[in-house]
């Protein structure tokens, strides 16, 4: 019975899994820290996008997210030609203040944008919701081409296992050679 039910969910598209290489990324629209509307499809139309899903504010500012973002911002030159979109999820109440606190000690280079994911709408759309005490989203990174097709995907179901700037830089270079 459970297999039939699972097959029904899969067949109806009700059973979701995080996006994978080869998938077209689902479009979404979120607000940046300064309140501007950001739509994924508009970003990808301009060129490749590095989509980074942070853990946001799960009761504290994630030290591994801090380290990853600082790695990315300090190696921004390796992302030449690509936009970097960082998603900061959490409960809607106070999320903007927590995200601004997170970003306050980081110098965001041109082409880097942080958006808010209030009440996990994005993380649920991408099936990245880490629904456990003091958790928000699975740390994830996706590289999208100008058509929104995913050509790199890494989803960590733990606090570690995150992508590095060097890893993303290499994937972008390899994509450009093809």
pLDDT 10s digit of each residue in the chain, 178 long?
A: 334 433 333 434 443 799 999 999 999 999 999 999 999 999 999 999 999 999 988 878 889 999 999 999 999 999 988 999 999 999 999 999 999 999 999 989 999 999 999 999 999 999 999 989 889 999 999 999 999 999 999 999 998 899 999 999 999 999 887 7
Residue that is written with structure tokens 């979109």 in the block:
85
pLDDT of residue 100: 95
Which CATH number does the domain housing residue 64 bear?
A: 3.40.30.10
pLDDT of residue 144: 97
The number of distinct structural domains making up the chain is: 1
In a domain, 66, yes or no: yes
In terms of residue numbers, what domain contains 153? 19-177
Do 174 and 151 meet the contact criterion of CB atoms below 8 Å apart?
A: no
pLDDT of residue 80: 83
Distance CA 37, CA 120 (A): 17
**Global confidence as pTM:** 0.89
In a domain, 8, yes or no: no
Q: Compute how many other C-beta atoms are within 10 angstroms of the C-beta atom of residue 111.
A: 18
């Amino acid at each position: 019975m459970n297999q039939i039910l699972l097959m029904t969910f899969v067949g109806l598209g009700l059973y979701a899994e995080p996006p994978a290489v080869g998938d077209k990324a689902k479009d979404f629209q979120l607000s940046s820290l300064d309140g501007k509307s950001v739509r994924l499809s508009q970003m990808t139309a301009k060129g490749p996008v590095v989509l980074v899903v942070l853990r946001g504010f799960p009761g504290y500012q994630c030290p591994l997210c801090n380290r990853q973002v600082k790695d990315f911002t300090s190696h921004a030159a390796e992302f030449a030609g690509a936009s970097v979109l960082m998603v900061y999820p959490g409960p809607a109440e106070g999320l903007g203040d927590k995200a601004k606190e997170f970003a306050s000690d980081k110098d965001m280079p041109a082409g880097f944008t942080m958006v808010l994911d209030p009440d996990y709408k994005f993380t649920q759309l991408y099936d990245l919701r880490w629904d456990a005490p003091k958790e928000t989203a699975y740390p994830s990174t996706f590289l999208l081409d100008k058509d929104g097709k995913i050509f790199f995907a890494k989803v960590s179901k733990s606090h570690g296992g995150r992508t590095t700037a060097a890893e993303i830089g290499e994937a972008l270079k390899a994509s450009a050679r093809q």
